[in-house]
Amino acid sequence: MPSTAPADRLPRPAEHPLPGGLPGTVLRVATVQAPVVAGDIPANAATAAALIREAAAAGARVVLFAEKFLSGYEPALIVADPYRHAVQPADPRLAPIADACRESAVTAVVGAAVRDEAGELRVSALVVGPDGELVTRYDKQYLFKSEAEIYRPGTTGCTLELDGWRLGLGICYDSGFPEHARAAALDGCHAYLVGALFSVGHGHHESRTWFPARALDNTVYTVLSNHIGQTGGWNTCGASAVWGPDGRLLAEAGPDARQLVLADLDPAVLSATRQSEPLLHDFRNGPAFRTGPAVAGRLLHRLG
């Protein structure tokens, strides 16, 4: 039943009680796609560093890369020689990326296969901050069926905070589960950033279904970085893109070319969308949320 309280006492959707509030400035993000060399971390790190500098010159504050960009998807190579084809703790091969972030004052979210401190393989997103330091590592939580034979799933979500913007991280198959993006939104995230591998055909269809849905469901921006060309036996479809908080496509790369896509995440657009599409507000204030479990298992990392 509609509330009978005076209109000026009702909370506006743009002000719903989530952590972080609304950001105060525009945030320019870049999502990039480029060919990778199978298993060659130094070569792919050099490519990433060049793209970071290119994005920074265009005014980007955050640069997003595809899933396992540093090695290519390449499960057979990674399993055969994880010391060579997966990133290790304190890996010196990340130095070009660290240097580019430091020189450009940019944050990079770079996909990698990781061999962790316990010797387990993970599908990860490495976050290198604007000071060139490794801020955190997000490990993919929802593994595709073939990945579960090789990798261990992550156990916590990850939220980044930069310039007042909260950015939730995901990797590929994570984005197919509405609960994953919803957990980020309930942690106050304004955008959901996903590095992925989507293939020609059904994979392209999935990406064009999931990302606008995650955006509108949660009134957040969604950002996708995908591979181009062949990697790990997959024929990938490119089309890295950004969707607005109303689910509409804002910017999109082509299917097979090296490309950098820029988008301005605008707090005014976010506020207006949450006024007209109060889905997240109504979920947050509904009885199902109040009686259900609290959102837990997310880590917040503030960036300079």
pTM of the model: 0.93
* Percentage of the chain exceeding pLDDT 70: 90
pLDDT of 16 reads 45
Query: Band of the pLDDT at 14, cuts 50, 70, 90?
Result: very low
Would you say residue 118 has pLDDT above 60? yes
Closest CA to 266 of 257, 278, 258, 274: 274
216-245 average pLDDT score: 97
Bridge partners, 239 (sequence order): none
pLDDT of 15 reads 47
CA distance to 104, 150, 180, 287, per residue, from 296 (Å):
34, 27, 12, 18
Q: Please tell me which residue, 13 or 284, carries the higher pLDDT value.
A: 284
- What does the domain layout of the chain look like in residue ranges? 23-302
CATH architecture of 23-302: 4-Layer Sandwich (3.60)
171-198 average pLDDT score: 96
CA distance to 54, 116, 185, 266, per residue, from 171 (Å):
23, 17, 16, 24
Bridge partners, 63 (sequence order): 30, 108
User: Each residue of 125-161: pLDDT tens digit?
Assistant: 999 999 999 999 999 999 999 999 999 999 999 999 9
> In whole numbers, what is the pLDDT of the chain averaged over residues?
92
User: Each residue of 54-98: pLDDT tens digit?
Assistant: 999 999 999 999 999 999 999 999 999 999 999 999 999 999 999
Lowest-confidence segment of 77-91, 116-130, 174-188, 286-300 by average pLDDT: 286-300
